Amino acid sequence: MTALVFIVLLLLVMRRSQPLGSVLEVFFRSYLFWTLTLLFVRDAVRLGAFGPDAAAVLGPVSAPDQQAADLSLAFAAVSFLALSGSFGLRLAAVIGVAVSILAPYAGTVPTTDLLLAHLPEVAVVGVGVLLILLQGTGWLGRARRQEPAIL
C-alpha cells in the first residue's frame, strides 16, 4: 500500500509530458525499493539478523534462523543495488523475491483456492516478472543520450 501511495505522489509531481518509459522506470524503482528492499529487510530483522532485541520490535520473536536472515539481508542488498538500473541486478532481485515468497508452496499443487489465498504474494512476483519483461523488451529504459554530431 505504501508503494502505491508513493507512486501516485511521484506521478503527480512528474511532468505530464514524460514518455511512458520514464513512468514505468519510476514504477520499477518504487517497486524495487518500497516492496522488495523493505520486504527483505523486514524479514531479515524478524529472523534475527540484528539480534533478538531488534526482532522483538516487529512483534513476537520467532525462532531465530541465521541462515534465512542472512539470505534476506543479501536479497535486500541486491534489490537496493538494482535501483541503479542494471538489468542483471533487477533480474536477480525479482528471482530472489520469487524464490523467497513462493518456495514454501513449491510442494503443493497450485489450485485456484491456493492462488486466491496467497494473492498478495503472487501479485508481488507477477508485477516483478512483468517489469523485467518490459525492461527486457526495451519498453522500459533510460532516455538515451544524444550523440554529438560529427562535423
Distance of CA 36 to the CA centre of its chain: 3
The whole-number pLDDT of residue 9 equals: 72
Q: Residue ranges of the chain with pLDDT lower than 50?
A: 143-146
Q: Does residue 134 contact residue 24 with C-beta atoms inside 8 Å?
A: yes
Q: Does residue 57 contact residue 99 with C-beta atoms inside 8 Å?
A: no
Q: Which three cell numbers stand for residue 14?
A: 512528474
- From CA 48, how far away is CA 61, in angstroms rounded? 8
Helix axes 87-102, 66-81, angle to 10 degrees: 150
The whole-number pLDDT of residue 90 equals: 92
Q: Does residue 72 contact residue 43 with C-beta atoms inside 8 Å?
A: yes
Q: Does residue 84 contact residue 74 with C-beta atoms inside 8 Å?
A: no
- From CA 131, how far away is CA 140, in angstroms rounded? 8
pTM of the predicted model as reported, rounded to 2 decimal places: 0.74
The whole-number pLDDT of residue 144 equals: 45
The whole-number pLDDT of residue 79 equals: 92
